[in-house]
Amino acid sequence: MNYSTSNSVAGVTSFQETLDTALKSSVVHVTFTKVDGSMRVMKCTKNLELVPTEKYPAQSALPTTVNESIHRVFDIEKQDWRSFRKDSVISW
C-alpha cells in the first residue's frame, strides 16, 4: 500500500490502522524515512508467533507508556526489535 493514496486525515488513520493490522498478523515490507533522512525497507512483524522465543520482549523491557506515534516491530532480517515513526512510512 502506498501512503500517497491516503492524503486525508481519515485516509492516514485508515492507512496506519491497516498497516498495524497487517503487522500483527504477518511479515510486512515497510518503506520509511529514517531520522537521518535516508530511506529504509524493513521486513518486519508484530506477530509473536513469527518471533524466536528467545527474542520475546521481557516484561521489564516493555515500555511503561505507549507512544502512539511509533511502531515497535521485530525486524526479520536483523532478528531484533526496531521502531519507526508512523508518519515516516512511505509504503508497505
pTM above 0.95, yes or no: no
Q: What whole-number distance in Å separates Cα of residue 58 and Cα of residue 68?
A: 20
DSSP 41-89: EEEEE--GGGS-GGGSPPGGGS-SS--TTEEEEEETTTTEEEEEEGGGE
Backbone angles phi, psi at 36, to 5 degrees: -80, 0
Query: Is 61 part of a structural domain of the chain?
Result: no
Query: Is 32 part of a structural domain of the chain?
Result: yes
Nearby residues of 31 by Cβ (< 8 Å), 6 or more positions away: 39, 40, 41, 89, 90, 91, 92
Query: Is 38 part of a structural domain of the chain?
Result: yes
Give the per-residue pLDDT at 66: 78
Cell numbers found for residue 64: 511503561
| Total number of domains constituting the chain | 1
Name the nearest CA neighbour of 9 among 23, 1, 17. Answer: 17
Q: One digit per residue, pLDDT tens: the chain, 92 residues?
A: 544 444 444 555 688 889 999 999 999 999 999 999 999 999 999 999 999 999 988 765 555 677 889 999 999 999 999 999 999 999 99
Give the per-residue pLDDT at 65: 73
**SS3 call for 34:** coil
Query: Is 45 part of a structural domain of the chain?
Result: yes
Give the per-residue pLDDT at 83: 95
Q: Tell me the CATH number at 12.
A: 2.30.30
* Residue ranges making up the domain that contains 7: 3-53+68-91
